[in-house]
Copies of this chain bind each other. A is one copy, B any other.
Amino acid sequence: MNNSQRKDIHNSEVPVVCQACEVRHRGVCGALNGEQLMRLSKHTKRHAISHAAELTTGGRSAERYANIMSGVVKLSKLMADGRQQIVGLQFAPDFVGRPFANADGITVEAATDVRVCSFPRETLEGLMEEEPELEQRLHRQTLRELDEAREWMLTLGRKNAEEKVASFLYLIATHVDPEGQNGTTDITIDLPMKRGDIADFLGLTIETVSRNITKLRKRGVIDVVDRRTVFVADLHRLHSATSQDLSR
């Protein structure tokens, strides 16, 4: 099962660093041919970013864009008095960074330890002009993020605390998906963030998150292996906990 070389007709043209890249075909790089990849890779850097570090500091702010190779990145907004709301989570192989300027007041942080492959803004924008499919891929990712944001607006505005927590667990379960999970209905979830982050994601407090994890456990929807790992015996059961019919 030599996954690393599938589909590369002219492997000689593909940069060595890219040949070994886990997300090479799925990320935005999938839109580029060997020659373009070669040019891009001349300017790329791999970074390991440890948990809780901001991605926007250290000169890498709007200067560099990046692909997530592993880990989870969180986007959040902060109010003057300290209230905080997480407005997006990104997983490999998502693209991080904002084409065409400003990301008004959004903080980008590593939720877990993260590995990224970054490159200068100008390099990507140069490639965008010559390769329309690149812009199309970015456009599609933006549309996907918009869908997720809207799904989350429904959760924030109209679900109660228990449904919110179940929704979060379901989201993580379906995203961190380590290639397996096909056909299986049970899954062990490694929570990528601590209770405080989950609270900021759900528009709740730490205590309410904790109480409702306990509630789901007592109802038998989940098993709490340890504070960072949850076992779900039946994903459908979890899914139905994300929106109980309250009208009866």
Name A's B-contacting residues (CB within 8 A): 75, 77, 79-85, 87-88, 98-100, 103-104, 106, 129, 132, 135-136, 138-140, 142-143, 145-147, 149-154, 156-159, 202-203, 243, 245-248
**Docked-complex contact B156 and A157, CB < 8 angstroms:** yes
CA distance A85 to B146 in the complex (A): 15
CA distance A85 to B83 in the complex (A): 23
**Docked-complex contact A79 and B136, CB < 8 angstroms:** no
**Docked-complex contact B83 and A158, CB < 8 angstroms:** yes
A243's partner among B80, B99, B245 (CB-CB below 8 A) is B80
Q: How far is the CB of A185 from chain B (nearest CB, A)?
A: 22
Contacts A81-B245, A81-B247, A135-B132 given; does A143 touch B142 at CB 8 Å:
yes
- What residue of chain B has the Cβ atom nearest to residue A106's Cβ? B150
**Docked-complex contact B139 and A77, CB < 8 angstroms:** no
- What residue of chain B has the Cβ atom nearest to residue A243's Cβ? B79
CA distance A245 to B203 in the complex (A): 17
**Docked-complex contact A246 and B83, CB < 8 angstroms:** yes
Known A79-B158, A83-B159, A84-B158; further 17 A-B contacts with Cβ < 8 A: A77-B153, A81-B248, A82-B247, A85-B154, A98-B143, A100-B143, A104-B147, A132-B135, A135-B135, A135-B136, A135-B139, A138-B139, A139-B139, A142-B142, A146-B146, A152-B153, A156-B156
